[in-house]
Chains A and B, each alone.
Chain A
Amino acid sequence: MTEEIKVTCLHDRHVALGALMSPFAGYDMPIQYVDITTEHNAVRNKVGVFDVSHMGEVEVTGPEAAKFTNYIFTNDITTIEDGQILYGMMLYPDGGTVDDLLVYRVNENHFFLVINAANIDKDVAWIMEQAKNFDVKVENQSEQFGQIAVQGPQAEKIMREVFGFDGSILKFYTFVRGMHWIDDTFVWVSRTGYTGEDGFEIYAAPEGIRWMWDKLMEAGVQPCGLGCRDTLRFEAGLPLYGDELTPEISPIAATFGMFVKLDKEGGFIGRDACARQKAEGTPKKLVGLELEGKAIPRHGYEVLDGDQVVGYITTGYHSITLDKSVAFALVDRSVGELGNTLNVRIRKKVFPATVVKKRFYTPNYKK
């Protein structure tokens, strides 16, 4: 049985722009409009816009919304104020990752969860199941929202010029919501992104998103596909669910422990497993690798210590910004020390690689 492929509210725009389209997470998505390098550089140096309407949105409301959200989330939402956002994960009891997500705090009775497109059905079922013993309402709003991401050093300028929106009111990881720009359209704007650059993510009903996209195109903003979304997030050291975080890879193994608040009040699902992993060390850990030469390490390629297989590449590219071949790899903890030399098998050849920090590019956020 093949599932029918879904489209976003901007699908006709992508086709009209001549984008290379490909299925991703059940949606027919634009991979590139021009080429990945051009779009990548537009975001690093100027500004670009992404259609990320495939992402899922879940609203949690009710008297126990705060307590419940904190119970399914690794980060601690009691540390933020209304109008702030936190990044973190939902975990299985064994510490494996259900998904990584953003949690928007509207108020203590209202939270807005942004989840990965590929995981919408799984996540919603998971959240609903956990919600049984809480006085909360969980609503999957994914079909109601389109989403675009305006990313790059000129994002604030473009938001002002195109929408008359004063982005300077928003610090990194804060948001506003209300009637903006178009009659009868409720819009959420946050200073967030997945590129390592300054930028904004905008959520609204499909009609509003189409209007905004067209305005941005008229203003000459570069449309950017999922191809460069991956190269950008990778350089900035950000994980992709399915590659660096999976049901088998906990945030502790992926070394994103800073988003896991083991000591928060009330605990959370997966807390004990994470505490144990942190104390004992996971058998595998995620590391950065820098290769000698131009050969490109790809997802799934073997990582060796001498001639012994010790892990595999989770994501790898010839970095556009750094002009070097770099990768994330999940390897045996014993060989994962910074500076250690490993080997990566690329087809028939083996290339030396040094263990380096995962953040290949220092993000330019407006904190």
Chain B
Amino acid sequence: MSKIIDGLFYSESHEYVRVEGDFGYIGITDYAQHELGNVVYVDMPEVDDEVTAGEDFGAVESVKAASDLMSPVSGTVVEVNEALEDEPGLINKDAFENWIIKVEMSDKSELDALMDAAAYKAMIGE
């Protein structure tokens, strides 16, 4: 059974946002990393890049396939998790600890459109 953390915001495409003030840490859920298998590459944007809610900002890749990353919120990238460049498998070890990008959110009301832990749990059927 996948790990789900209370207090985070979840998207239908299996990303999460951990909110700290105006900042959001975006990553993929434990369920998503499990479905994807061993992550061998994470394609990340650069600091100062703009991301838009519902649009892709990169990809996580297993040996077999690339899976687009969709941003749950809009804003500006203020940090990327550089540890993933050398060790993309960190996402498999702990997907919630190993966020992918940190975004300064431009419209926090976008969070209202996302799911809470209970709703996400129901969506993935666990």
Which of B40, B56, B64, B66 is the one whose CB lies under 8 Å from A227? B64
A32 within 8 A of B: yes
A318 engages B41 (CB within 8 Å): yes
Pick out which of these stretches binds chain B: A52-60, A76-84, A172-180, A292-300. Answer: A292-300
* CB pair B37 A298 closer than 8 Å: no
Main secondary structure of the interface of A (DSSP, over half): mixed
Docked Cα-Cα span, A349 to B85, in Å, equals 16
Interface string of A6-37 (1 = CB under 8 A from B): 00000000000000100000000001100111
Interface range for A: 10 to 19
Q: A36-B63, A227-B63, A231-B63 are in contact. Are A296 and B41 (CB under 8 A)?
A: yes
Alpha-carbon distance between A317 and B40 when the two chains are bound, in angstroms? 10
Verify if A320 is at the interface (C-beta below 8 Å from B).
yes
Is B43 a contact of A37 with CB atoms below 8 Å?
Answer: no
Docked-complex contact B63 and A294, CB < 8 angstroms? no
Do residues B37 and A32 form an inter-chain contact, with CB atoms below 8 A? yes
Instruction: Judge whether B40 and A318 touch: CB under 8 Å.
Output: yes
Partner of B61, one of A31, A296, A320: A296
CB contact under 8 A between A295 and B43, given known A36-B63, A36-B64? yes
How many angstroms from the CA of A349 to the CA of B56 in the assembled complex? 13
B43 touches A347 (CB 8 A): yes
B80-92 to A contact mask, C-beta < 8 Å, 1/0:
0000010000000
B41 x A37 contact (CB < 8 A): no
B93 CB to nearest A CB, Å = 14
Interface code A313-352, partner B: CB below 8 Å = 1, 0 otherwise?
A: 0000110100000000000000000000000001101000
Q: In the complex, are the beta carbons of B63 and A318 less than 8 A apart? A: yes
Smallest beta-carbon distance A325→chain B, Å: 8
Q: Which of A20, A35, A320, A347 touches B59 (beta carbons < 8 Å)?
A: A347
Complex Cα spacing A36 to B64, Å: 8
State the CA gap A295–B42 with chains docked (Å). Answer: 8
Number of B interface residues at 8 Å Cβ cutoff, please give it.
Answer: 16
Whether B38 lies near A37 (C-beta < 8 A) is: yes
Chain B residue at minimal CB-CB distance from A36: B63
Q: Could you say which of B38, B59, B68 contacts A36, with CB atoms under 8 Å apart?
A: B38
CB contacts (< 8 Å) of B38 on chain A: these are 35-37
Within 8 A of B (CB), among A204-230: 227
Verify A295–B41 contact, CB threshold 8 A: yes
Give Cα distance in the complex from A37 to B41, angstroms. Answer: 14
Q: Judging by beta carbons under 8 Å apart, are A346 and B43 in contact?
A: yes
Cβ-defined contact, A298 with B66, below 8 A: yes
Which of B56, B59, B63 interacts with A317 by CB under 8 Å?
Answer: B63
Q: Can you report 14 A-B residue pairs in the complex whose CB atoms are below 8 A from each other? A: A20-B37, A35-B38, A35-B63, A36-B62, A36-B63, A227-B64, A294-B41, A295-B41, A296-B40, A296-B61, A296-B66, A298-B66, A317-B63, A347-B59
Residues of B within 8 A of A349 (CB): 43
Give chain B nearest CB distance to A31 CB in angstroms: 7
Interface residues of B in 42-82 (CB under 8 A from A): 43, 56, 58-59, 61-66, 68
Contact A35 B37, beta carbon cutoff 8 Å: yes
Chain A residue nearest to B62 (CB atoms) is A36
Residue of A nearest to B92 (CB): A35
In the A-B complex, list the 8 residue pairs whose CB atoms are closest, starting with the nearest.
Answer: A36-B63, A35-B38, A294-B41, A296-B61, A227-B64, A318-B40, A296-B41, A35-B37
